[in-house]
Amino acid sequence: MERTTAATTVLGVVTALALVGAPQASAAAARAAGTAAAEAAPDLRQKTACYQATRDLWVREEPRKDAKAVGLLKKGQVVRASVKETNGFRELGPQRWSSARYLIKVTHDKC
């Protein structure tokens, strides 16, 4: 919560400085805002890994077998997915889930 507040405050300062025409100060504040925002965001690479599909797999909107299919992973395709399983599925992205049973972790980072 504290980091988010700091990022919001810095962003407000950037906006105010830009409005009054302080280009050097606003550029420095923008860099600071970017740093504060980056610190507040979770590191998704620590919570994901590369997985390879061992068969063709449906990509679904939710982690359920009966959820709407929104895409297809082809056998052999490598994707970045959540390390944590939810209801037997791994999250590939927002509203994108595939069966964890047919996704094997791979050591190369080509995803």
DSSP line for 75-90: TT-EEEEESS-BTTEE
Q: Around Cβ 54, how many Cβ atoms within 10 Å?
A: 14
Domain boundaries, the chain: 2-40, 45-105
Q: Taking the model in full, what pTM does it have?
A: 0.58
- CATH: 1.10.20, 2.30.30, 3.40.50, 1.10.3470. Which one for 45-105? 2.30.30
pLDDT in tens, 76-98: 999 999 999 999 999 999 999 99
Q: Half-sphere exposure of residue 54, counting CA atoms within 13 Å on the CB side?
A: 8
Helix axes 2-20, 23-40, angle to 10 degrees: 160
pLDDT category of residue 4 using cuts at 50, 70 and 90: very low
pLDDT at 108: 74
Residue type, 97: W
Give the pLDDT mean for 29-44: 44
pLDDT at 35: 43
